Amino acid sequence: MASGYLSRLMSTPEAQPENTMEAIVSLAKRRGFVFQSSEIYGGFNGFFDYGPLGVELKKNIRDCWWNDMVRRRDDVVGIETSIIMHPKVWEASGHVAGFTDPLVDCKVSKNRYRADQLFWSPVVVDGNVVGYVSALESEKTTEELQAAAESLKRKKAIQGTLAPVVAKDFTEASAEQVSLIPSPATGNPDLTPPRSFNMMFQTNVGAMTDASSVAYLRPETAQGMFVDFKNVVDTNRVKLPFGIAQIGKSFRNEITPRNFIFRSREFEQMEMEYFIHEDADWDKCHKEWIEWCRQWLLSIGLPESHLSLYAHPKEKLAFYSRGTVDIMFKYPFGVQELWGIAARGSYDLTQHANASGKPQELFDEASKKKFVPHVIEPAVGVDRIFLAVLAAGYAEEDVTDEKGNVEKRTVLRLSPRIAPVKVAILPLLKNKEILTNRAKALYTKLKRNYAVQYDDGGAIGKRYRRQDEAGTPWCVTIDFDTIEKPGDTFTLRERDSMKQTRVTETELFALLAEQVY
Ligand code: ATP
């Protein structure tokens, strides 16, 4: 899927500002990619709105995935299931009992932390524990703990050699240590022991608000595919191996939503359940899907250098899981999970068969026996891809104009596949009808198939900069040569190289057909 254009997409590290995250959040707001939800009321933590450019980018990410995952494959079909499902679905899936994160409260500040994101270390001087320090998970957790340990030693005026800190998370603290570790908010030992916090949002369905009306907003789209498995098998001519895919909103009451849209409480998932025979080579199939997902991320412009794989250690897997590999992405705040690819055995279908009393089996012609299929599940968040493409594509560069003046340009190197606007049509002068008529004719024609923008406001250089920031791969300028010289050619200006060439309308359409798919 990857095309030659992609090798030029990535922003070089030297073109990225020190604090890329701040720059991205600011660009996202300034240009209408992402806003805080309910901003005029002070915002609502963990929820976001997508503005005009953002909604196009998000739609393109979704469309590329749907086209490649569903339409262009013969073995995957799509569905769309309801966000609120029968509460028994979530009992059978294990979410009611086990979809929890360990929660820690600070009794004084009332701050809440995820125990596995709250780190601590004993402060050891000459082999003796003289106190404890804590820090929240970040790229610099260990450095922060070390600095806190040095500061504690100084404050207590203790002589001797300080041992290097050993960062552990709060779930690893004994009851005695819990009572001694300082809260990051107060600096005093004000933390509660960790307790399980269920992340599903509850609601009530119907007029009664009692225990019998409790329902949940789905925390993942995957259960829709399991619950509808038989419906899909019975109504479609699907044969193993085959997949069922879905894109949709999911909701998790995250204890600490953070890092902009990376971890939010309402987000969108793209998930696919790939059903295989119980005797199939699941390991091979798992590996093939991991590679498919990696290639897909490259095809929408993510640089290979930012991707890595993380295999979950066997001892940390759920009992039914045979293996989970995450595709990790190097975000500005650290390497984090982007896409999880799990081999889930027959756990989900078996759970639903037992809870509903409806067998979820297929008949094996060869052995004349019934069996429950096994599943490989690639699950990814649209918003995490969105943030990854902004982070990898963002750059600030010094450029020299025709007069030799150096100025800064902000550019978003988005792949043409997902860029919100594919081409900007710019008549050289706003008040020359001969130019604007030709520009409008081209704009109208392109608009039928592509997201394009017509912009006649301001100097041409300014207009190029506006489009650079929005991630538009090409600008087309209609100038006097278009009208006066034979060939009806336009200036095509490429975003990344800023190179200008002359092209005809036919050549422009051919370029778009090749690059936007
Ligand atoms: P994490 O460990 O980061 O909380 P997870 O392992 O719980 O993620 P999964 O349940 O595997 O995530 O969900 C599949 C995908 O959905 C993730 O890889 C991620 O891309 C996305 N996702 C999960 N939680 C969130 C969230 N709170 N906000 C945005 N995207 C999310």
Structure confidence at residue 172 (pLDDT): 94
CA–CA separation, 453 and 282 (whole Å) = 47
Ligand 1 midpoint to CA 254 (Å):
10
Does 381 sit in the ligand 1 pocket, CB within 6 Å? yes
Ligand 1 midpoint to CA 326 (Å):
10
Beta strands 76-78 and 100-105, pairing class: unpaired
Query: In this structure, which residue's CA is closest to atom 27 in ligand 1?
Result: 263
Structure confidence at residue 328 (pLDDT): 98
The pTM for the full model equals 0.93
Across-strand partners of 371? 362
CA distances from 272 to 125, 242, 377, 473, 508 (A): 53, 10, 6, 31, 36
> Could you tell me which of 72, 78, 66 has the C-alpha nearest to residue 225?
78
Ligand 1 midpoint to CA 117 (Å):
15
Does 339 sit in the ligand 1 pocket, CB within 6 Å? yes
Structure confidence at residue 12 (pLDDT): 77
Mutate which of 254, 267, 312, 389 to test ligand 1's pocket (most atoms within 8 Å of Cβ)? 267
Ligand 1 midpoint to CA 353 (Å):
26
Mutate which of 253, 384, 386 to test ligand 1's pocket (most atoms within 8 Å of Cβ)? 384
Residue listed under structure tokens 């044969």: 239
The pLDDT tens digits of the residues spanning 314-371 come to: 998 988 899 999 999 999 999 999 999 999 999 999 999 999 999 999 999 999 999 9
CA–CA separation, 277 and 72 (whole Å) = 23
Does 116 sit in the ligand 1 pocket, CB within 6 Å? no
CB within 8 A of 334, min separation 6: which ones?
A: 138, 139
| Residue segments in the chain with a per-residue pLDDT below the cut of 70 | 1-9
Does 124 sit in the ligand 1 pocket, CB within 6 Å? no
Does 264 sit in the ligand 1 pocket, CB within 6 Å? yes
CB within 8 A of 430, min separation 6: which ones?
A: 436, 456, 457
Ligand 1 midpoint to CA 82 (Å):
19
Structure confidence at residue 1 (pLDDT): 42
Does 93 sit in the ligand 1 pocket, CB within 6 Å? no
Does 170 sit in the ligand 1 pocket, CB within 6 Å? no
Ligand 1 midpoint to CA 147 (Å):
32
The pLDDT tens digits of the residues spanning 463-475 come to: 999 999 999 999 9
Does 340 sit in the ligand 1 pocket, CB within 6 Å? yes
